[in-house]
Amino acid sequence: MKRAENNTNIRTRNAEETKKIAAEMGRKLLVDIQAGAVTGPVILALQGDLGAGKTTFVQGLASGLGIDARVTSPTFTIMQRYPIPGLNGSLYHIDCYRLEGGEQLDAIHFNDIVADSRSIIAIEWPERVGARVPRGAHTVKFREGRRDEREIEIDFS
Ligand SMILES: Nc1ncnc2c1ncn2[C@@H]1O[C@H](COP(=O)(O)OP(=O)(O)OP(=O)(O)O)[C@@H](O)[C@H]1O
Ligand SMILES: [Mg+2]
């Protein structure tokens, strides 16, 4: 059982705020990895409905990690890799929404990526991958509120 006290709830009022908190997380992650305080792979399982803000969060995360590239939804490509300038590693953005079977994960070498200590992996629609998401993954839950409000619950355990 995951311990609820390791969870943090953040409410954002618009997409920019979601990007901002994700960027802060990315910056902290980068510093912690560089200092050896955190060792990868760091896996984020992003849960939430269509349009809840998962890709928006990854855009902020990428910018906090120092990635300049424009991050777009990898819905059709399944995976997009972005080298992290300050690390000998990459951010992998994976979207399982349109996944048709495990073979597609094999084709992108999913198991190797999630076992690589130099990887930061953000997975949208992790429910569709089931048991292939490693147990150490941190869940990030997105809930839609009124208008542009979103509640984001991050499991830091
Ligand atoms: N507080 C907020 N946080 C994040 N996005 C917000 C917020 N308020 C409004 N939005 C808008 O909601 C949409 C979120 O889209 P996004 O692509 O990030 O969702 P998603 O969870 O990745 O969906 P999908 O499952 O289709 O990939 C964007 O149009 C964004 O501008
Ligand atoms: Mg998305």
Question: What spacing in Å lies between the alpha carbon of 55 and ligand 1's midpoint?
Answer: 7
The ligand placed nearest to the CA atom of residue 50 is 1
Write the DSSP assignment of 20-33 as a string of letters: HHHHHHHHHHHHHH
- Indicate whether residue 59 lines ligand 1 (CB < 6 A): no
Quick check: is 157 in a domain? no
Q: Assess if residue 19 is contained within a domain.
A: yes
What average pLDDT does the structure give for the chain?
A: 94
Q: DSSP H helical segments within 50-122, as ranges?
A: 54-64, 102-107, 110-113
Q: For residue 154, tell me if it sits in a domain.
A: no
Residue 155 has pLDDT above 70, yes or no: yes
Q: Which domain holds residue 53?
A: 4-149
Alpha-carbon span 39 to 21, nearest angstrom: 21
What's the total number of domains in the chain?
A: 1
The beta-strand segments (E) located in 48-104 are 79-84, 89-95
- pLDDT tens sequence across 117-128: 999 999 999 999
150 lines ligand 1 (CB under 6 A): yes
The model's pLDDT over 16-51, given as tens digits with 9 standing for 90+, comes to 999 999 999 999 999 999 999 999 999 999 999 999
| 111 domain-assigned | yes
- Decide: 12 in ligand 1 pocket, CB within 6 A: yes
The model scores a pTM over 0.85: yes
> Which helix or strand (DSSP H or E) is residue 18 part of?
helix 15-34
Tokens standing for residue 48: 């939430």
The verdict on residue 156 lying in a domain is no
* CATH number of the domain encompassing residue 68: 3.40.50.300
- On whether residue 59 sits in a domain, the answer given is yes
